[in-house]
Amino acid sequence: MIKGYYYEMDGFYTRIVSFVVDSNYRSMGIGKKLLEVGESWARSIGATRIGLNSGSRPERERAHRLYKNMGYVEKSIGFAKSLV
């Protein structure tokens, strides 16, 4: 997790930049517990929001269901360009 500062208002947020549970341990509640711990830490340092990066590939659909079930909302779109 990282801590980021808003540029449009006072305060800061946290972001989960990378989040994967080993395929041998999925559907055991580990992802949910890790998210809960991350959210608890974010609250403890006074963050007002938490973001989570996740790819839009088909193999991420189960993870996206978990995020939605835990109250996360699809919010943004990103772009990338190769320079080589």
Q: What is the pLDDT of residues 4-46, one digit of tens each?
A: 999 999 999 999 999 999 999 999 999 999 999 999 999 999 9
pLDDT above 90: residue 76: no
Domain residues for 20? 2-69
Question: What is the band of 47 on the pLDDT scale with cuts at 50, 70, 90?
Answer: very high
Q: What is the pLDDT of residue 78?
A: 79
pTM: 0.83
Q: Are 77 and 41 in contact (CB under 8 A)?
A: no
Determine how β-strand 50-52 pairs with β-strand 2-5: unpaired
Which strand (E) or helix (H) includes residue 35?
helix 30-44
Q: What is the CATH number of the domain that holds 9?
A: 3.40.630.30
Q: What is the pLDDT of residue 35?
A: 96
Q: Could you give the number of structural domains in the chain?
A: 1
Q: Are 33 and 74 in contact (CB under 8 A)?
A: no
Q: From the CB of residue 52, how many other CB atoms can be counted at a distance below 10 Å? A: 19
Residue 57 lies in a domain: yes
Q: Are 8 and 49 in contact (CB under 8 A)?
A: no
